[in-house]
Structures are given as structure tokens and as C-alpha cells.
Chains A and B, each alone.
Chain A
């Protein structure tokens, strides 16, 4: 039971946890270290860190101190030369390599080869750029060493920004709110869910009622026919739609023969792309609805249908006053179930239009999937993706509650028939 609950809730819990981090491929999912890189300096500059500090961080300086002397010794620099450096230049510092090297060249025991001179100079170089520090303390110490009179909070800011691991953050949600794309995708998602849902329920109802009035032989055939989208594997089904709508496909050729504009209907225009997306998902859901509705229709006592006919109800009035009220529960079920599955479904869209043309048919779930798991740039933003998924979960929960209220679920659930 505990395991069951664990497996049931773990994905949601993990999603919630990830949603409040900035995890990505770059940060990894374990800890990181502290590095100041050229890129970081550029983005710090964009964020308004003062130019003096940036310059200071970006530059190297040469300080003749004990640590430098030891480093030079380790690098195999001639011992006499090191002694001369220590005696003559001790505690002096240079802001550029050229000035330091010029000074070095004045020493008597200087090496003849330029390369050796540069090795000797390099030993005294001091810079934070591209140096990996294991802890924040070390990074801060290095920064303090590098910067003279840094502005208030600058060190902390740089140290925080230089962390390469993941951190806790609510930035994901802030970013989502301020990105204009978010609202586009929300619009797309609402459009997609509402239209596909309407297609599911209405076509499902239409098919169920039509087959209900058909003679049994015909209705059996029809039921199986409409089940095909449901029983075809998703990938195969999507591929068939591609053949159907792509250049030189079925629709393309027919349109050409009829003199209509022939193009790639799947990705060629926004309207046709949406049509394809809604039909692809709509037919799958419609067959699902049809099965449920057909079952519910058969459960209506035939005397009630007879009674309504005798009472003078036309076919349409019979459907409206007798059949549809009996279908309230299955309609609620299909509506709520399909809303939730459509909200979180993206595989058919991914396999057909892949959100295109542009990102016109990109829905929330597809965007979340791409952000977190299937990104062109290669930097998978787990944290942002999880935040998007978490919003989806929240919306789903709210919708379920609304549906239950709307259809007065408690009224439909009668008291248990079996008493304990």
C-alpha cells in the first residue's frame, strides 16, 4: 500500500520539487562548483553590475609573492632567475603581462627563450577567470583578493551567479508569467482542448445515437469502423495522417485534381494545421465517447422510448428530452476525462505537426515536454519544464473540482445500495 501510494504520488511530488529549481542539463541534478566565466561576466554586465568590477574580474594581474615564487619553482624555472625575481621585484604588482615581462627582461639571469620567460611570468598570474572553486567561501576569498573597493554586495552577487549547480528558485514561474510566449501557448491550449473536446463529445454522441437507430447489422459494422483510430497504435495512426495530408498525399492529390490549393496540409498553413491536429485527436476521443455513449443508450429502458413516441415526441424531441438526460453521467465522464487527457496530451501533435508551423499549434504539454526533455539547443531545462507540468496538474485539479460541482456529482452518487 505504501509502495502503491509512493509510486502514485512520487511523480507529482518530484514534479513539484523540480518546479522550484533551475535544474537543466548545464547545472546537472547533483551539486556544482563556483566559476566566473566570460559568459557570466557578460550577463552580469547586462544585469547592471558596474563596469569597473567587471573589468577587474576580467583582468589578470601579476603579483610577486611567496606563492608565485613557489609556483615558479615548481614550473621548473631556473633557480637563479627565481632568486633574482624575489630580490628585486618582491611585493610589486603589474596590471598587464607586457609590463611584467618587460620588467623580467631587465633581470640578468633571464632565460633566453621567450617561451621560458612566459612560463616564469605565468607563475605569478593571478585571476579568477575560469578558475573552479569548490566552495563559496573560496570564491568569495578570491574575489575579495581581486577587487579593490568593490561596490556594496557585488562580491555576493558574483559569487551567487558563478555557481554552476542547481539552486532553489521561483524564477521559473516568474519567467513564465513575463514571457509573452506563455500566453500564446495558453491560448493555443485552450483553443485545442475546447475544440477537440467538442468534437469528441458531439461526434461521439452523434455516432452513438446514429448507430442506436440503425439496424443491428449496420450498427455493428459502424462501431468497429469508428473504433479504428482507438485501436491503431499512436505512431502508426500519426504516420497515416502524414501520408494523408502531406505533399503528394491523398488530400494533396485530390485537391490538385479539383483545382483547389494543394500544399502540405499538415504544416502548410495555420488553419489546416489546426484542422489536422483537432481531427487527429478528435477521432481518437470520438470513438472512445461513442463506446461509452452506446453502452449508456442500450441501458435506457425501451419502454421509455416507446412511451415518448406514443406521447407524440418526434425523433429530435426523443433525443433531447429522453435520451440526453439519460446520458448526463456518461457525457460528464467523457467531458471531464477527455479534458484532462487532452490537457496533458501532446504525442499526436508531436508526431504530426510538431507544434508547427512556427509554434502555432504548440500546446502547453508539448512545450513543457520540449523544454524539459526534447530541446533543440541541447540545454534541457528540467526545472522550467517541471514548473510547466506542475501548472498543468494544478489546472487539471481545479477543472476536476469545477466539473464535479457543475454536474452535481454528489447528487448522482446515490447512497450505497448495500448496507453494512
Chain B
């Protein structure tokens, strides 16, 4: 079901958290709300679920306006960060809870619960209490409970934040698998760009209560609209150099660095600019030479990470295959791939 949020505004104790936001989640897609803490992504999620109410704006589930409805009447499934399983009920009762309060008959409840338990691979845990389950198992139970009454939308609030690294990888693909199998519309709130990119069809990046950009993960990565988006996606993150426009190039005069601006013509000389260079676009190969010194080196197994400090003190990050090792303090003459570099205005907008 398509979910649309129109002109949504939310204030907490006089502080505006979300201001005039518009967002459409397509039927059957999984959308990530990605952003740093305090950007309003959880508020948006809880507003869709009805836990928070809109101060202004409209929320549509398909053609139905649910803005004024309490969460009980919205038919949403939510997976909370700490799972919020009911400790006094066993797994079966937990999953059955949405159906029990709807007063479905026993046979239906039993069938539905067993079906969803099979889907989430927890059929053998139905008699246990939440306290007897591991984190990953609790996660699956929470997911099953959210899905059991076939909600219009599945809302996931940082579902992987409390899991260890290995479980996180496993649950990442599990949640995506279940979402694809059920074809449910889903919203994932996360501050982890890897999670967002690996699990979702589209990502909405939020900053201070606004959606900065909404795009597929690949487009978002290769075509960021602002330096904030560019900086948020990618690990290790993009490096930003400060310079000015000079004769149709991005120039840092003291170190005689000039990177052609290509298609961005007609920028007045002396305009302050930012150049974004992803780590994979800076290394021993490329077209614009830069000299510097290795100030940080980290081995990651397959690849090595380096920080290269330029003569003016600015830093470029690089990621290189582990075949050749550069040492800390070693002077290098590496190259920027100028075609892949992003040019931003001083206030962060992509040119």
C-alpha cells in the first residue's frame, strides 16, 4: 500500500522537530529513513504508526486519510529497537497478541501464528518466554508479531542496533527476504548507511527534520545532491577539500592544485567551492597529481585505508588493495580521478 505524508509538521514542547515534510512510500517498496540522531527519522516513523500525532499535515494509507486515527485503527506493524516483547507471554502469545485483541477465533489465530512463525524460522520457539531467547530470536519474534495481522505498512525502528555484528548481517538479509516474500510496504529507520543501502529500495536522507534527498542507494551514492549526503554515504567517508573557482578549475593556490570543473562553466573566479573525493577515486592512478604524506594507515585485510595529508594540512582518504603497503610517514604522489569528483558550493549544494 502506498503511504504518503503531506506537509507534515511536528513540534515537541515548542521545539519544531519536523517542518513541512513531504514523503511518498511506494507500494511494496522498502524505504530507509537515514540520518544522524535527532534528525526526526524516528519521529516520522512513530507518526506513521500513530504513536505520535501530526501537529499539521496529512497522512494517507492508499486512499484512506488516517491522520486523525489512533494507532489501534491504523493497521501498522512496528518492530521496536528493543523489540518490546511482552515478557509475561510466551512467544506464541506474543505473536498472537494483535489477533487476540482483535478477538479472532482460536483456530484462525493458531494457523496465522504458525504460518508467520514458519516464515520467520521460529516455529520451534513458540513455547518459550522472551527472556529465554537470544537477541536474534527476539528480533524474529518482534518481526513476526508485527507481520501477523498483515499490516498495511511495516515500520522498523533501528531493528538491528541491539545485535552483534554477525547477527546484524544475518538479520539484515532475513528482514529483506521476509519483506520481499510478503511484498509488504516497509519503512526502516537507521543511522547506519550500510544497513540502509543493503536492505532498501530507496533511501531518504534526513537532516534537521527535512528530507535532503530521496533516491535509490546506487543513485544516492554516485549522485549526491549535497555534501551532507555525500558525506553520509560511503565507508570510509568522502574527503572534502576547500578551495576557490579559478579559470574554470577548482583551485587550491598554495599547493598549486587545479582540478578542471568540466561541465560546470561560468563560475566566477574566486567563488569558494568544495571538492568531494571518494577514497576509491584517489590513489596511485588518476589524472590530477597531488603530493602528500601518509599520516594514517589501517589494514582491513582485503584493503588498506590511508589518510594522506597535503602540504596545506587538508586530508584526502584513500582505499587501496592490500597488495602494496605504504608506510606511515611515507611521502606519496597520488592522483585524483577528476571525473568522479563532486563539486559543491560553499553551502554544500552540488554544482
Contacts and interface: CB of A to CB of B under 8 A. Distances in A.
**A, B assembled together:** yes
A307 B130 CA distance: 15
A312 B69 CA distance: 12
Contacts of B88: 325-326, 328
Contacts of B77: 310
A321 B101 contact: yes
B334 to A, nearest CB: 49
Given A308-B97, A311-B97, A322 B49 contact: no
B84 A303 contact: yes
Contacts of A311: 97-98, 101, 145, 149
A342 B73 CA distance: 45
Contact of B80 (A306, A312, A326): A306
A310 B76 contact: yes
A74 to B, nearest CB: 91
A43 interface: no
Contacts of B50: 309-310
A95 B49 CA distance: 109
Interface residues of B, number: 27
A304 B98 contact: no
A314 interface: yes
B78 A313 contact: no
Interface in B97-118: 97-98, 100-102
Given A312-B72, A313-B72, A314-B101, A307 B84 contact: yes
Nearest to B72: A312
A321 B101 CA distance: 9
Interface in A316-349: 317, 321-322, 325-326, 328
A325 B86 CA distance: 10
Contact of A312 (B46, B51, B82, B149): B149
Contacts of A358: none
B226 interface: no
B71 interface: yes
Contacts of A314: 72, 101
Contacts of A301: 82, 84
A310 B71 contact: yes
Contacts of A313: 72, 97, 101
B183 interface: no
B97 A309 contact: no
Interface in B125-150: 145, 149
B329 interface: no
B157 to A, nearest CB: 9
A303 B101 contact: no
Interface string B63-78: 0000000111111111
A61 B300 CA distance: 125
Contact of A322 (B70, B72, B80, B86): B86
Contacts of A304: 84, 86
A311 B79 CA distance: 11
Nearest to A328: B88
The 7 closest A-B pairs by CB, nearest first: A303-B84, A307-B84, A311-B98, A325-B88, A313-B101, A310-B78, A309-B71
Interface of A: 301, 303-304, 306-314, 317, 321-322, 325-326, 328
17 contacts: A301-B82, A303-B81, A304-B86, A306-B51, A307-B78, A307-B80, A308-B101, A309-B50, A309-B72, A311-B98, A311-B145, A312-B75, A312-B98, A312-B102, A317-B101, A325-B88, A326-B88
